Amino acid sequence: MSTKPTSTHHRWAEGSIVYQIYPRSFYDSNSDGIGDIPGITKKLGYLEDLGVNAIWLSPFYPSPMADFGYDVADYCGVDAIFGTLDDMDELLKEAHERGIRIIVDLVPNHSSDEHEWFRQSRQSREDRYSDWYIWKDPRGHDKEGKPIPPNNWVEVLTGGPAWEWEPARQQFYLHSFDVRQPDLNWANPEVRDAIKDAMRFWLDKGVDGFRVDAVHFMAKDPLYRDEKPNPHYVEGRDTRYGALIHTNNHAWPQLYAYLSEMAAVLKEEKYKHGERFMITEAYPETHNRVDEYLEFYEGMDPEVAAPFNFEGLSLPWEAKAWRDFLGTFHKALNDFNSLCVASYAFGNHDQHRMVTRMGEPIARSAAVLLLTLPGMAFIYNGEEIGMKNGNIPADMVQDPGARGGDGRDPERTPLQWTAGENAGFSTASRTWLPITDNYKTHNIETESKDPDSFLSLYRHLGKLRNTSASIKHGEFEVIDTGNTYVLGYARTRGDERYIVLVNFSKKPVSLSLKPDLALGAFVVSSDPETMLVKTATDKVELRAHEAAVFEGVVTPKE
Ligand code: NOJ
């Protein structure tokens, strides 16, 4: 174990709990069936009780909502559906009064086709904004005289062509996502300046940082060459986007120069004292996942920036996979730069619900893991009450991504507040997505009264994380539990230590830990039966899929 000093200053991001709010689905204060910003302000007390240190707000900017706000028509405004700039000021003020930070979503790769920049850009090749998007001539014309796109790239959401013809310019524009989300041209310094100005606009308002969307796509092959077909693609099994191997449409090295420019804004004299921070969204794609994460830390500035860690979404739920990953990843971060902040997410608005993916017992175990690991712990709204995927009838489908696969509506259904009408989310006659059918049992009000509920587990873990110096800021060390199915790790700071044991097996296990790993008092368990009662002896029994936290005994060093 390394001997880092224990009295160093910690930035707020370290050891924080960040709660992701999908504004459309959090709380509807004006009865239009869609959540809004005053609705968030109204419910801050709930987040405070959960132990939330920061909120990440998914987009609330003016938008035609082709991709539910990830198509931004004005980077410096608030869509009327969600409220006003004054409402944002009020939210920032009230959240900060409660000690809750706010980071906002920043979507730099593309704007809406209704953004003024694009409206002008598409009009002519000589416009002030003509070079702000990615415009290319056709590769040729087909037999009917139709222009052929410049290359074979496809867009992420549906796997359809990534190029759209613009008659006024007689050129194609690139859209890595929906056709209504034209890619901005990051090679153009004016574009970079404009996005950095948008950052400053929000920083001046007092936001604490950004979650930066789809960053991989900001840097493409400068020659715009074709992609190769994916020989492993299986139609029906894979999303249509997976039919090609994507080596050219994203993740070119220039990315780090762009991200560093953005990170530098956070360190400008005016902002640096506020510890502003940004987290980038890029799903690792190779087997060298630790290296991919490391590349981001190295390529940005770990003092103010970190990449999301998406292992919670992709690693198999197996002890060995987690043991290997955690051991390697945290050692790499430590060895590289002690300023690196890990940032774990097990769910978000693009991923099926944890309970649907893993089942309840594992989702509860994963909550223990998430909230006892170092760095930032991201909770997507609703995961804390064990929400499952909703069933979306065909006539209520909203997500443009539903045209290319499963769609993301099931994980975006309204947050379940009560067992009452519309799950207490809204008093409208119809909500923008249907309420998921388990709301009578899985809702905040009911679960608040049940000591064994998901919510009670999250609250225990939230309190533990916020009151324990070792879980918030301590050393992380994988320990040998003597059982291949059980992951164990210690979080230690000074003479405070906690030991976390996670049984990945569907069978109960009995462990005899080594004498130097003596367990102290039992703290909390993922299992509803033993959540608050468990005796720590030299033999530890763990139920199927149970994760448990114990106090650890720190043996004095010789
Ligand atoms: C990632 C966002 O999380 C997703 O919801 C969106 O569709 C794409 N980026 C495009 O902005």
**pTM for this predicted structure:** 0.96
Give the active site residue among 281, 311, 399, 527: 281
Amino acid at position 69, single letter: G
Give the active site residue among 87, 178, 208, 213: 213
Per-residue pLDDT of the chain (558 residues; tens, 9 = 90+): 333 444 578 999 999 999 999 999 999 999 999 999 999 999 999 999 999 999 999 999 999 999 999 999 999 999 999 999 999 999 999 999 999 999 999 999 999 999 999 999 999 999 999 999 999 999 999 999 999 999 999 999 889 999 999 999 999 999 999 999 999 999 999 999 999 999 999 999 999 999 999 999 999 999 999 999 999 999 989 989 999 999 999 999 999 999 999 999 999 999 999 999 999 999 998 889 999 999 999 999 999 999 999 999 999 999 999 999 999 999 999 999 999 999 999 999 999 999 999 999 999 999 999 999 999 999 999 999 999 999 999 999 999 888 766 799 999 999 999 999 999 999 999 999 999 999 999 999 999 999 999 999 999 999 999 999 999 999 999 999 999 999 999 999 999 999 999 999 999 999 988 877 888 889 999 998 876 666 656 678 999 999 999 999 877 665
Phi, psi of 54 (to 5 degrees): -155, 155
Q: DSSP characters for 235-270?
A: BTTB-GGGGEE-SSSS--THHHHHHHHHHHHHTSHH
Which of 67, 178, 210, 412 to probe ligand 1 with, by most ligand atoms within 8 A of CB? 67
Q: Is 281 among the residues known to form the active site?
A: yes
Report whether residue 70 contacts ligand 1, using a CB cutoff of 6 Å: yes
Centroid of ligand 1 to alpha carbon of 213 (angstroms) = 7
Which of 25, 177, 398 to probe ligand 1 with, by most ligand atoms within 8 A of CB? 177
Q: Is 452 among the residues known to form the active site?
A: no
Please name each of the domains of the chain with its CATH number.
2-108+189-463 (3.20.20.80), 475-552 (2.60.40.1180)
Report whether residue 213 contacts ligand 1, using a CB cutoff of 6 Å: yes
Report whether residue 67 contacts ligand 1, using a CB cutoff of 6 Å: yes
Report residue 228 as tokens: 């190769």
Buried b (16+ CB within 10 A) or exposed e, 440-479: eebbbebbeeeeebbbbbbbbbbebbbebebbbbbbbbbb
In eight-state DSSP terms, residue 301 is: -
What torsion do the CA atoms of 262, 264, 266, 272 make, to the nearest 10 degrees? Answer: 180
Question: Beta-carbon neighbour count of residue 317 at 10 Å?
Answer: 17
